[in-house]
Amino acid sequence: MKPLPIVVLISGGGSNLRAIIDAVEKQNLPAKIRAVISNCPDACGLQRACNSGIETQVVDHRQFVDRDSFDHALQQAIDSYDPELVVLAGFMRILTPRFVAHYQGRMINIHPSLLPAYRGLRTHQRALEANDTRHGASVHFVTSDLDGGPVIIQAEVPVLSCDTPDTLAARVLALEHKIYPQAIRWFTEGRLRLEGDVASLDGQPLMKPVYWEDSQ
């Protein structure tokens, strides 16, 4: 299978990026990461990309007067690599509707909560404050509804009475590293699509997200 060209956007540590690179290098994920682009010049993930010989670019949002001009520059940077899928992996910027529309059906995100619960930030803290017994992560298509696009796959962890936001985040992150490569694999294999505002897998609309069993 010809590898699908993808571009990964990051803002920070890049552990999800690392998981995607590992899946490409060691698990035959049929993708070619043409570039990793960050809005933060000091994102550690840029070094991870360099170490794997992947091209990197920085489009620093602080250099732009408004969201529109930043998104325009970001779009130009992404499109110069002609990707078929844009993967947001800890990319912490709110995107303009025009930018999102340009990548409709070919941009996915990972979010550290069981969407639709806890869109936005501080998800682990909020799950603890609500005394939730389960928490997790979701991969979804990006739409102009922030963290509100159709969910593809989710993984859950139990919330433990001794959890802090950091311990909970670490257990969720470990599962993020499994479900993101899986969702990307489905897309590269042509099995995953956005049809209208519904995600479909193998031609079947996903009435609810696929639930990741950790034995997979």
Please give the backbone phi and psi of residue 124, each rounded to the nearest 5 degrees, phi first: -70, -45
Euclidean distance between CA atoms 12 and 38, whole angstroms: 8
Nearest residue (CB) to ligand GAR, 86 versus 110: 110
Nearest residue (CB) to ligand GAR, 11 versus 200: 11
- Residue ranges binding ligand GAR (CB under 6 A): 10, 12-16, 45, 89-90, 110-112, 137, 173, 176
111 is catalytic: yes
Q: Do 35 and 57 contact (CB within 8 A), yes or no?
A: yes
Instruction: Please report how close the Cβ of residue 135 comes to ligand GAR at its closest, in angstroms.
Output: 12
Nearest residue (CB) to ligand GAR, 13 versus 148: 13
Of the candidates 9, 20, 173, the residue with the CA atom closest to the CA atom of residue 107: 9
Residue nearest to ligand GAR (CB): 90
Nearest residue (CB) to ligand GAR, 12 versus 150: 12
Considering the candidates 61, 72, 102, 111, report the single residue annotated as catalytic. Answer: 111
Instruction: Please report how close the Cβ of residue 190 comes to ligand GAR at its closest, in angstroms.
Output: 25
> Which residues are identified as catalytic?
111
